[in-house]
Amino acid sequence: MAIGNPDILGDRQSGQDVRTQNVMACQAVANIVKSSLGPVGLDKMLVDDIGDVTITNDGATILKMLEVEHPAAKVLVELAELQDREVGDGTTSVVIIAAELLKRANDLVRNKIHPTSIISGYRLAMREACKYIDEKLAVKVEKLGKDTLINCAKTSMSSKLIAGDSDFFASLVVEAVQAVKMTNARGEIKYPIKGINILKAHGKSAKDSYLLKGYALNTGRAAQGMPMRVSPAKIACLDFNLQKTKMQMGIQVLVTDPRELEKIRQREADMTKERIEKLLKAGANVVLTTKGIDDMALKASFSLINCVQYFVEAGAIAVRRVRKEDLRHVAKATGATAVSTFADMEGEETFDSSFLGYADEVVEERIADDDVIMIKGTKTSSAVSLILRGANDYMLDEMDRALHDALSIVKRALESNTVVAGGGAVEAALSVYLEYLATTLGSREQLAIAEFAESLLIIPKVLAVNAAKDATELVAKLRAYHHTAQTKADKKHLSSMGLDLSKGVVRNNLEAGVIEPAMSKVKILQFATEAAITILRIDDMIKLVKDESQNGED
């Protein structure tokens, strides 16, 4: 069908059709992750096009691995990724809420309410909800003591594979996050969890995982002759090859005398030798490079050139093929500068000792069947490594994802210092509050806010359904408690009532230790509302079709 201009070919859908289609696509995405929410959520098995299997119930991972075609559904996938980047946990909840908001908005549009009114209603509801969380529901961490952090980690892990051992892993996570505590230039206390390296090693059981003080690199020394440990360590971080220097592409060397060839070869080998000597002269006794280090004995006419040999003789440890990400973390932790070339401003090759980083010791240890280089006692920020043990790859990968979520949540709880009760408590409280708020408004936003309030109940509903409990009854009880908490001044403590999904009852989740950072909830509401609004604004979809006739002319 031609659109406006008769030369443009494509499909055009507009108005209600496109809205319904978008909402259906988002519902489909949300339904995929819905059953994985909560402490009794189920896992998904994803098989990609080359047959690799992933077993997980992490919302962001599931959605990342789906090949989503529909443009509106892609917004939800990006939404989960954004939540994962910003908070690290709550990826499933954010998608479910966004889809529910859309579904209800679509019903309102069908009832002849203009999308603009719904959008302004949703925005108002979101602002009020975030304000209510901050003022009424959030509890300062200092009041709850150290157990708070462990409970946050346990709540985050409760839906994951390692839920059975959550006591053990929660204390590991809290210890790891507190180990990387640092104060930045502005005097704020930060917990850079990127400084926590997670290494996966097969064998033993999950309970045999442990925390190592120091940054672990999943690679061994470049040669057996090198020392096993160096102390104190001066570390050079390089991002180039320490192999025999080759001529650049496109450089021609015309040789008239064949005897000159040997000299060229010799010079190539000597250049690398000089580089290594510069490194060792600057005082480096540990060299990490992202590329290779030559250990081929190149028979030149009068000497054996072996780069590794220089390091062995100097009693230094050299490590090759270090991941760039690891190199960056090591450089940051030890105060080193990652160097990508030896050339200085004058075009000479130099290596200054100020580029070196410092650590108490660098040792090679054996974990399971792999050699691991451990960098201990780093200079600037402390680095720790979590060594995970488990039966197979799927298990280890899922443990890694679960710990990433838990680490992020503990970091957020520490940095924001406020937590809220989990298990649907916040959603139920907001739902009751917003419903009342809607009745006080005389404008057309009233309906949108009431629907927003209704949408939030999807979280406790899904939690109860996944736990095979009677959702209708539980949610009704939950709302009754929250209504009492908000209307009677002496019943304020009821505002942390949430679901206990193993027994199928309503309980005080703050006391039971089911808690999450307040920031996580606020972000979930903000992101879900923004995503819903983005999709709701669309009322026209034009798909252009490739014009076949022009291909021949090209």
Just list the catalytic residues: 58, 91-92, 405
Query: In whole angstroms, what is the distance from residue 254 CA to residue 454 CA?
Result: 80
Query: In whole angstroms, what is the distance from residue 120 CA to residue 99 CA?
Result: 18
Q: How large is the angle between the packed helices 471-487 and 425-440, nearest 10 degrees?
A: 60
Nearest to 415 by CA among 183, 231, 243: 183
Nearest to 158 by CA among 427, 409, 417: 409
Query: C-alpha distances in angstroms, 277 versus 316, 347, 352, 381?
Result: 12, 18, 12, 29
Contact predicate 196/385, CB 8 Å: yes
Token digits of residue 379: 């200079």
CA angle 425, 427, 432 (to 5 degrees): 95
Query: C-alpha distances in angstroms, 446 versus 123, 131, 210, 438, 536?
Result: 12, 18, 53, 5, 18
Query: In whole angstroms, what is the distance from residue 364 CA to residue 211 CA?
Result: 16
Query: In whole angstroms, what is the distance from residue 48 CA to residue 154 CA?
Result: 31
Nearest to 42 by CA among 30, 28, 31, 56: 56
Q: How many CB atoms lie within 10 A of CB 133?
A: 21
Query: C-alpha distances in angstroms, 2 versus 9, 547, 548?
Result: 5, 12, 15
Contact predicate 125/449, CB 8 Å: yes
Q: How many CB atoms lie within 10 A of CB 23?
A: 22
Query: In whole angstroms, what is the distance from residue 481 CA to residue 507 CA?
Result: 10
3-state secondary structure of 138: coil
Residue 379 is classified by DSSP as S
Token digits of residue 410: 């503990």
